[in-house]
Each structure stands twice: as C-alpha cells, then as structure tokens.
C-alpha cells in the first residue's frame, strides 16, 4: 500500500536517488529550486520514496508539472497515473503544460494532454564568443522583465522570478529581449531566452554561454543549427505538451527556463 504526501526539503536525497534509478542525472539544486517554486508530491511504500511529481502554479490560469518518476521496481502498477492525477487536481488550472519523455507521453495523452512541439536538448562546450548585445539585469529592470515574460509565456510568473533572480547565475537584458542562465552541476543551463528572432536569440545565448559547457533546449531549427555549429550538440528530445490552450506570444520564447517549468 503506497501513501501520498507533500515532499519537503528533507526528501531531497530520496528524490535524487529516485531520479538516478531511472537514469536521470543527479540534480539536487534543481530539485531544491523546484520544491521552492512549486509543490512536490511523493508516493511512499513504507519509508521508501517510489514516485514523485512537482506542480508549479503560475497564478490561477496555468501550471507546469514536472519530475514525474516512478521507481523501476514499482513501474506499471498505476502509480504514475495516480501521482499525476493528484498533481493535476492540486493544480486546478485550466492550462497545464509539461515536457514529456517517450515514457511519460502515453500517460499524458490519456489524461488529455496533446503535443504541441518537440524540444531538442543541446549540450556541449560552446565554441563562440559573447555578442555583447545585452547587459546584466539590475533591480530596476526586474518589473519590466517579469511583465514581458508574462506577455510571452502567457501567465504571470512573478513568484517564480523572485526565486529565479536568486537562483540564476546570470540574468541579462537587451532592448528587445532577455536571457538567463543557471548552474546544474557542471552545466550552464541557458533559459529562458526571449527574443524577436532566432538571430537575436543566438546573440543572447552567446552572451551567457561564452566559455561554458552549456545546455539549451530549443524548438527553433535555425537556433538548433546555430548551436550545433558552435559545439552545442543535439542530445535528446522531449514533447512540449499542453492540456487546455496556451496563450502568450510563444514565438518569442526560444528556450524555457527549464523543461520542468513548462
């Protein structure tokens, strides 16, 4: 008999172990960030954590679901469905988005999600140089940045941004967009990238990726080709899935903060 409860920071080591069990990288900082900006649910078999999902709500309209995992020892018994159904009920928003692996996709389709695009994760030592078309965000830039993010993403993510301004290693702004980066072990994770074109998105990426081993998750083929030409190579894909309908000017969103935030 498994029981479900809210995850706390004390559960972080068990979350990381569960991810490793499924061949996912150990990402303790990312888990900790996601548990700060959202609510995690764990399924426990006795004291053992055997299933997880995290919900991040962006106001009353939109939520993202992430970190859906079931221990390999407990797969195929309905636990994945149970934890995701609980997460959706908790979210209670008309729009829910997530990035799905091929393992999760059939479950999400059964729960009413549809794929709206494929994201390719690019990883590698960035071989380019900074374009120098952005500058570090200052306190005075924050309100406008968060407002533009809401316009592009289609939901007010100000509470998430309060944490992201602390968590990010870099947040840079330009006249026509912005870019952030955060550390995930050895990787500089680039996102979000908000720009009016793929060319401008590439310039913003260059400003945070210069000298780093970077990961950027992109849907735009031109940006993907540019990354590949600069040593940041396609590694795996995920489906961007949504239940309900996206709003926002998503054409300007060239990379998510992280797949876990929809």
Ligand X SMILES: CC(C)(COP(=O)(O)OP(=O)(O)OC[C@H]1O[C@@H](n2cnc3c(N)ncnc32)[C@H](O)[C@@H]1OP(=O)(O)O)[C@@H](O)C(=O)NCCC(=O)NCCS
Residues that bind ligand X (CB under 6 A): 22, 68-70, 75-81, 100-101, 103-104, 106-107, 110
Q: Which is nearer to ligand X, 118 or 147 (CB)?
A: 118
Main-chain dihedrals φ then ψ at residue 70, nearest 5 degrees: -130, 135
CA dihedral 96→199→147→118, nearest 10 degrees, is 0
Measured between alpha carbons, how far apart are the two ends of the chain, in Å? 31
Axis-axis angle for helices 12-21, 28-37 (nearest 10):
120
Minimum separation from the CB atom of position 106 to ligand X (A): 3
Q: Which is nearer to ligand X, 120 or 170 (CB)?
A: 120
Minimum separation from the CB atom of position 103 to ligand X (A): 4
Minimum separation from the CB atom of position 252 to ligand X (A): 25
Nearest to 3 by CA among 39, 49, 40, 35: 49
Q: Which is nearer to ligand X, 80 or 124 (CB)?
A: 80
Tell me how far CA of residue 26 lies from CA of 42, 43, 57, 232, in angstroms.
17, 19, 24, 21
- 200-239 CB burial, b ≥16 within 10 A, e <16: bbbbbbbbbbbebebbbbbbbeebbebbeebbbeeeeebb
* Residue sitting closest to ligand X (CB): 80
Q: Which is nearer to ligand X, 77 or 235 (CB)?
A: 77
Minimum separation from the CB atom of position 153 to ligand X (A): 20
Nearest to 67 by CA among 82, 56, 79, 52: 52
**234 strand-pairing partners:** 122
Instruction: Give the chain's radius of gyration (CA, Å).
Output: 18
Q: Which is nearer to ligand X, 106 or 132 (CB)?
A: 106
Minimum separation from the CB atom of position 32 to ligand X (A): 19
Q: Which is nearer to ligand X, 79 or 181 (CB)?
A: 79
Minimum separation from the CB atom of position 29 to ligand X (A): 19
């Amino acid at each position: 008999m498994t029981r479900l409860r809210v995850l706390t920071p004390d559960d972080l080591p068990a979350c990381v172990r569960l991810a490793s069990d499924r061949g996912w990288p150990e990402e303790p900082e990312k888990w900790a960030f996601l548990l700060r900006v959202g609510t995690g649910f764990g399924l426990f078999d006795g004291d053992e954590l055997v299933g997880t999902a995290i919900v991040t709500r962006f106001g009353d309209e939109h939520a993202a679901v992430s970190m859906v995992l079931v221990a390999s020892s407990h797969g195929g018994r309905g636990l994945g469905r149970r934890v995701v159904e609980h997460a959706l009920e908790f979210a209670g928003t008309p729009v829910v988005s997530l990035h799905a692996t091929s393992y999760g996709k059939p479950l999400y389709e059964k729960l009413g999600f549809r794929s709206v695009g494929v994201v390719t994760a690019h990883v590698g030592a960035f071989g380019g140089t900074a374009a120098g078309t952005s500058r570090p965000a200052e306190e005075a830039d924050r309100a406008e940045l968060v407002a533009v993010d809401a316009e592009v993403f289609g939901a007010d993510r100000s509470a998430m941004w309060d944490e992201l301004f602390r968590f990010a290693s870099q947040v840079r702004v330009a006249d026509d967009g912005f870019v952030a980066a955060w550390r995930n072990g050895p990787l500089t994770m680039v996102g979000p990238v908000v720009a009016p074109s793929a060319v401008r998105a590439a310039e913003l990426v260059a400003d945070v990726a210069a000298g780093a081993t970077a990961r950027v998750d992109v849907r735009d083929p031109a940006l993907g080709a540019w990354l590949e030409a600069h040593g940041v190579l396609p590694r795996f894909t995920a489906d961007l899935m949504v239940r309900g309908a996206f709003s926002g000017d998503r054409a300007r969103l060239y990379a998510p903060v992280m797949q876990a935030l929809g």
